[in-house]
Structure 1
Amino acid sequence: MLMSTQVRADDAADIGKLLRSGQVAEALQKVDSALAQRPKDAQLRFLKGLILTEQNKSAEAITVFSKLTDDYPELPEPYNNLAVLYASSGQYDKARAALEMAIRTNPTYGTAHENLGDVYAKLASQAYDKALQLDSSNNTAKLKLTLVKNLVGNTTGGTNPKTATAAVTTPTAPASTAPAASTKPAVVAANKPEVDKPEAKLAPKPAASTATAATDRDEEEVLKAVENWAKAWSNKDTNAYLAHYAKDFQTPKGETHKAWADERRNRIEGKGRINVKIEAAKVDVEGNTATVKFRQIYSSDQLTANSRKTLHMIKQDGKWQIKQERAGS
């Protein structure tokens, strides 16, 4: 076991040296070789995400960091780096959600707090820009916009979020097996490669194309619909809650829509207190359909549950509604 741990540490250290010296292609080749032997190794996967980020392969890096947050939700660094990638492509709501998860995981994570401030500044900049589009004589909005731009040190109002370079820890489980869901990776100092290259700062993205802007709007609308669904559930407003489901909603047990709705109404209205929170939501829109994956934090007088949920949604009559829901990832 000691020898196996040392081999993992040596691999990570060698990859870190290659990355630090600018030998990115060689680092990728070595990390892929190591991952072929230990596909569940969190440290190696994190390093691969860093390498892909260096190569400007943002989509692939997002996939790596997203899967890490699924498999090791207790590690804050993948959430932070995922947020940096989202911010660099102008997806600030997703960046905000990822950073909030990083901070929830580790409230003392200073980089995530700083990045969250930058993301909020960018969102504020966008809001003030919109206010000025609607009323160009709004001097208060002009002043606030100038203050925000000066705050982030960028005349375009962009943010410069920082990545975590190599702070993720490795699980103690054998490389050939995935750690149990309840097992947290232990801190192994030797497994932290000393990647001391400057923290990456991503430049703001140029103006998005019309198609990209439309997709971003759809994602925001979907996320807002899900948040309103959770709010109606929390308020025990069953009429508003049920209105978020499509007429052809696929009921979980194949019962009629009316039977399912009556059962939900009885369960919701029968509770003394309900609180439903949505965290780490990931939205994928394709035309008039969307998939939303998130962590649902549910609490009532009798029950507290923290689980993953997936909603399949469809846009009907201009509204995003739930076509199917299921628990789990």
Structure 2
Amino acid sequence: MFQMVLGLACSSALRAEPTPQDNIKQAIQAGQLEQALKLLQQERQIAPKDVPLRFLEGVIQAQQGQTDKAIETFKKLTESNPDLSEAYNNLGVLYAAKGKLEESRSNLEKALQTHPSYAAAHRNLSDVQSQLAKQTYAKALQIDSKVKNSAPQLTLLGSIDPQKRAPVYAQVQTTSAAPPVGASSIESAKPAPAASTSPSVPAAVVTPTTPSTPAAQVAAAKPSTPAAAEAPKAEPKKEDAQQKHAKTDQTDVRNAVSAWAKAWSQKDMARYLGAYASSFSPPDKMSRAKWESDRQIRIVSKKTINVEINALKIEVSGNKASARFQQVYESDNFKGNSHKTLEMIKQGDRWLITRETVN
């Protein structure tokens, strides 16, 4: 899933009195989405087929987290207006938000086919192509792309503005292919060498002696005792192996919690949502899709977020674990702390969140 920057383009023409569309745009800019929707519905009754109004309806739906409805709205717009590059661009952004990168790339390419110099579409397509390249590279190294790659920021256009289609090639940002993975990442993908199971027993060494030495004859006749004495140390104790495995799980859970808090702080929605298992139970019996949309809006809308984890206590039992800690959260104009518990499950090599509760 991708972060979306919801930029609303204002018309450059100066008017003595704002039009109904201007009022709708201003309400969207102010975050008054319900008011914007109310004004929009009033205007749609007068002009139900008006293209700019239908476009603004899709923008409102996208900002409300109604991604599927917004996709349907922009789809219908492109069917009736195949040269509407802004609608193709927004379809590309919304598909990227759902993790459908191929559909995203296809629509962004259509946006540039209709207006090749659209800077926003150029930047978005560049970011999507870069993300696809990273996923291909990560797949070749058998790395989980949700963990290793951060999602780019794509621009959702807020209005239809032909002036934005002027040539602006100097503004187009090019993104290089996926950066090379460090040696440590490649080495971590290699299988660990198998531990030797043969007992570490020194071979018997016979020192030649003269036959006339009785002590030497007695020593040669005695069985080799070092092998018998060291044989029990050849196999590690089960208790030691279990303790080592438990410590490894503790470390992995600690790293997973830390990565989750870091992704939240960086507003990296791909890694943040990727920290939750498919069996995760959202609060208040909310659907997973609705929960993800709400989290997307709440997190991306903040200018800055900082999440700190203190007094972390971890309990591991088999493939399940619980992490209890004090969470210190700080955003634009809010700071607070709470005691939180994450219930986690091990899937493959990863520890994922199945339940999140505040104590």
TM range (shorter): 0.3 to 0.5
TM-score normalised by L of structure 2: 0.40
Question: Which protein is bigger by CA-based radius of gyration?
Answer: 2
TM-score normalised by L of structure 1: 0.44
